[in-house]
Structure 1
Amino acid sequence: MSFATRLIKFSAAALGATVLAGTAHAQGIQVAGSDAFNLPEDVTFIVEPSDPNVRRPTARVNGSIITGTDVDHRVALILSAQETALPEEEIQRLRLQVVRNLIDETLQIQEAAALEMPVSQEEVEQAYERFAVEAQGRSVEEMDAYLRSIGSSARSIKRQIMGELAWDRLLRRNVAPFVNVSEGEVQDLFERLQESRGTTEYRLGEIYLAATPANRQQVLANAQQIIAQLREGASFAAYARQFSQASSAIVGGDLGWIRLEQLQNPTLEAVAAGMTPGLVEGPVEIPGGFSILMMIDQRQIGMPDARDSILSLKQISITFPEGISQAEIEERGETFVETVGSMTGCGDANLRAAAIGAQTVDNDQILARQLPNPIQGILLQMNVGQSTPPFGELTPGGSLRVLMLCGRDDPRETQGPSTDQIMAQLEDERINRRAQRYLRDLRRDAVLEYN
């Protein structure tokens, strides 16, 4: 689903495009590319163009108002997810992007209402409660308080939820029914996948930013800024939800498990082939815009992968209270390491941990690939009853932990995606392309007024 792409530029090209496009439409002429406008090299403005850097980021969208408070609350929400502070220039760029996101959301909500399929406030409240409880682990009241503490509001989240629900509803009625994938296409791809058994399958994340010849440089600069933030630790899923114009935005850009040929773009295939898990690459220029890729994971098709093992783990930990000396922390830490090192398995771990004031937590259903990479690699080389090296912080308020392997169920061979899964993916790709055109049409027909 799309949340971002309306770029308002006060430039010679934009001014000329507005005037000449209107003339072409009146005469029934179809033009493409900046050359069709026959613009002069030396442009003299009869009205001084506004400086976009000092424009207040508020707008009316077909009469609906986007206030400065709406923008502030959404920006605060995004900034709260950043691990590092953003420079002022980047924050200003983010504000402009947020305005475009809010414009898109408003158009989506208005279109659903105009087609007599509005999202009710009750639906929004229910979705917000699920988001608070399931995604954030908070009650609604706690979520409200948290959002206020970071300078945002529940209203900002609910507005985004309403936009997502409205857009999903529109696509289900106006786009999805008209997308067709033949059984022949699915069967052909399925057979090719079976022939590739043993080769690599990838789980990719994607952020897609649409671009035109007129705004290419601006979109490219935005993409480069996003990549810089991602490489400094920003959440890929959060950026995908806010900025990506692909349908995968609603799930944080996650494309799921795919073969590279399913990307249906040789450039993207070549880039992804050279990536390793955790790596971010881009911006990659493709027809219609730019793509930012993140390699989430890799596996071999149809072959058992040790990272798909189900592990039974016991976490043993000791916490150092505030106010104790460093010497005492180190003494307790040494006792903890010695005790854990002498344990002969999970059977006596609870009693021996309690004797030194340590805590234990059991989990019998942990997928190995869900663990952090450093711990994942160690556990997969261990035998039952062994423990990882201790990890943590020897500081007041810190803790020291180990994970003990109590059991392991190895994975079975898999057959790769089913024909139903392949059909669903092909349908999603085609829905995504039509959804982009749908939103472009809404933007084109909108009446926008900026303060």
Structure 2
Amino acid sequence: MAAASDFFPARARMATAAAALVIAATAAVALVAAAPPAAEPPAAAPADVASAPNSASVLRLPENPQLFGTSMPSVVKATAIINGEIITQTDVDQRLALLAISNGGQLPANEMEQLRQQVLRNLIDETLQIQAAKAEEITIAPKDIDRTLERVAAGVKQTPAQMGEYLKANGSSLRSIRRQIEGEIAWSRLLRAKVESSVSVGDDEVKAVLDRMNASKGTQEYRVGEIFLSTAGGNEATATATATKILEQLRQGASFVGYARQFSEASTAAVGGDLGWVRPEQLPEPISAALRTMGPGTVSNPIPVPGGLSIIAVQDTRKLLTADPRNAVLSLKQVSVTFAKGVTRAQADPIVARFAEAARNVGGCGGADKIATDFSAELVQSDQVKLRELPPALQEIMMPMQVGQATRPFGSIEEGVRILVLCGRDEVNPGAPSFDQVFSQISEERVNLRARRYLRDLRRDAVIEFR
């Protein structure tokens, strides 16, 4: 039985994988895309000082040597020292490369310096978080990082070694991803030990939220992502400039999740800024007001909020506690016609026309098998495809379809032309969230607020040298 991802062109899946690489290297959620560099050669053994000659003359070195190969990487050059721990220019470059991967492989040349500074700030915060965890005797075992790394690689059907090769080819490294994973796990465990244990939520608070939700049945909910930039310590101008640049890139198609992971200063950065399903009244008033004017797929201007600026993205919308046809779970058959390399559009058009006619007269789900035979096409079946997870254009096509009908052909000559035949549809009737779900959401919001304050205090108390 094929996975739902098998219904979409390979090129689209690879683009998703690259974006998810920066989205998915989290301690809580598997991320996406690629491969570790080969192991570094072992360091040379130290020279025997007692037997070493005390003059260079024996080496017969040329006066004007010709140099070969590339210069030594800047791995030995300190960019910042945080409480005695060094961040190198290589660390910055490799983390910047991860951001580039999430942005389709390119970053605007005129913004590189600002992006570099932001990445450095992120690395400083990450170092402070790891140091704070160690101070509380919280250590992250290599096997914990390995498990997350394996989930990341498995998400794109690769091994960690293959992921490393991909990263190396794109200017990053497995070491950079491992460090990011270590920081996220360390911070998560530290918050659990120092912050979550002190957060309390009363049963009456949870009951009040549930009562309001039941009273608001049919009102709109939003699936929201957030990028939060702090303005603490007189940082307003820098935060505003960064927010403006991020917004420009997002509107040109950059990955919101990738930018949230690298730039957001909220604890939700580890999950790409995902706030989950929320109603406007659950959010601060400035965000709530903006949210009510937004639709799916839109991104807000920077919104001033207490302590900083927020950019929000609406990923989806739904009616609270109301049946939504997009929640349906579909049983589908996909028929894919592929063309030999070099086939022109003029040569393919007659085949596509016959394919479209066959789709119009598919004659039920069983007819998909006959079409596949007639066109020597590939047939793939999946019984657990959520309509909401299909591309928006296909959602619109399939919502009014009846069982046994097929879509119009879609795709491309290069990657194949396909149809989807609807074999079944199970509607989902949503109910109110459970007491535990509401409890967890309220608790998480309070933990996020205290986590920001905790990180602010770590920055304030740190000894940081810039080189």
Fold match (TM-score > 0.5)? yes
Q: Which residue of 2 aligns with 1:228?
A: 248
Q: Kindly provide the amino acid, as one letter, of the partner of residue 113 in structure 2.
A: Q
Q: Secondary structure at the match of 1:366?
A: strand
- Inter-partner Cα distance in structure 1 for 2:346 and 2:135: 70
Q: Which residue of 2 aligns with 1:151?
A: 171
Q: Secondary structure at the match of 1:58?
A: strand
Q: Secondary structure at the match of 1:343?
A: coil
Is contact 1:66-1:102 (8 Å) kept?
yes
User: How far does residue 84 in structure 1 lie from its aligned partner after superposition?
Assistant: 7.2
User: How far does residue 213 in structure 1 lie from its aligned partner after superposition?
Assistant: 6.0
Say which of 419, 425, 428 aligns to 2:435.
419
Q: Which residue of 1 aligns with 2:39?
A: none
- Inter-partner Cα distance in structure 2 for 1:338 and 1:186: 56
1:162 partnered with 2:178:
no
Q: Which residue of 2 aligns with 1:376?
A: 395
1:159–1:169 Cα change, 3 Å: same
- Inter-partner Cα distance in structure 2 for 1:379 and 1:127: 36
User: How far does residue 398 in structure 1 lie from its aligned partner after superposition?
Assistant: 3.2
Alignment of 1:25-424 (within 5 A): 58-83=79-104, 85-134=106-155, 136-212=156-232, 214-263=234-283, 265-394=284-413, 397-412=414-429, 414-424=430-440
Is contact 1:202-1:295 (8 Å) kept?
yes
Is contact 2:240-2:309 (8 Å) kept?
yes
Q: Which residue of 1 aligns with 2:73?
A: none
1:316–1:98 Cα change, 3 Å: same
Is contact 2:359-2:407 (8 Å) kept?
no
Q: Deviations over 1:149-183 (max 9, x none)?
A: 11110000000000001101100000001011111
Q: Secondary structure at the match of 1:282?
A: coil
More displaced stretch, 208-217 vs 299-308: 208-217
RMSD: 1.5
Q: Deviations over 1:352-382 (max 9, x none)?
A: 2222121111111111111111110110111
Is contact 1:57-1:95 (8 Å) kept?
no
- Inter-partner Cα distance in structure 2 for 1:57 and 1:257: 43
User: How far does residue 323 in structure 1 lie from its aligned partner after superposition?
Assistant: 2.3
Is contact 1:198-1:300 (8 Å) kept?
yes
- Inter-partner Cα distance in structure 2 for 1:215 and 1:76: 26
Count of matched residue positions in the alignment of Structure 1 and Structure 2 = 391
1:326–1:378 Cα change, 3 Å: closer
Q: Kindly provide the amino acid, as one letter, of the partner of residue 301 in structure 2.
A: G
More displaced stretch, 287-296 vs 198-207: 198-207
- Inter-partner Cα distance in structure 2 for 1:137 and 1:398: 20
- Inter-partner Cα distance in structure 1 for 2:105 and 2:126: 28
Q: Secondary structure at the match of 1:207?
A: strand
Q: Deviations over 1:232-262 (max 9, x none)?
A: 1111111111111222212111111122111
- TM score, norm. by length of structure 2: 0.81
- Inter-partner Cα distance in structure 2 for 1:297 and 1:91: 32
User: How far does residue 340 in structure 1 lie from its aligned partner after superposition?
Assistant: 2.3
Q: Which residue of 2 aligns with 1:435?
A: 451
Note the residue ranges of structure 1 that are not aligned, 5 or more in a row.
Answer: 1-55
- Inter-partner Cα distance in structure 2 for 1:188 and 1:339: 56
Q: Which residue of 2 aligns with 1:446?
A: 462
Is contact 1:198-1:301 (8 Å) kept?
yes
- Inter-partner Cα distance in structure 2 for 1:308 and 1:441: 43
Q: Deviations over 1:258-296 (max 9, x none)?
A: 221111x21111100111011100200011000111111
User: How far does residue 448 in structure 1 lie from its aligned partner after superposition?
Assistant: 0.9
Q: Secondary structure at the match of 1:324?
A: coil
Q: Deviations over 1:297-338 (max 9, x none)?
A: 111111111111111111111111212344322232223222
- Inter-partner Cα distance in structure 2 for 1:282 and 1:183: 36
- Inter-partner Cα distance in structure 2 for 1:290 and 1:302: 31
- Inter-partner Cα distance in structure 2 for 1:129 and 1:349: 37
Is contact 1:57-1:99 (8 Å) kept?
no
- Inter-partner Cα distance in structure 2 for 1:327 and 1:183: 67
Q: Percent identity?
A: 47
- Inter-partner Cα distance in structure 1 for 2:78 and 2:326: 47
- Inter-partner Cα distance in structure 2 for 1:86 and 1:116: 39
Q: Kindly provide the amino acid, as one letter, of the partner of residue 424 in structure 1.
A: S
User: How far does residue 347 in structure 1 lie from its aligned partner after superposition?
Assistant: 0.6
- TM score, norm. by length of structure 1: 0.84
Q: Deviations over 1:17-62 (max 9, x none)?
A: xxxxxxxxxxxxxxxxxxxxxxxxxxxxxxxxxxxxxxx9811111
Q: Kindly provide the amino acid, as one letter, of the partner of residue 58 in structure 1.
A: T
- Inter-partner Cα distance in structure 2 for 1:346 and 1:90: 52
Is contact 1:84-1:232 (8 Å) kept?
no
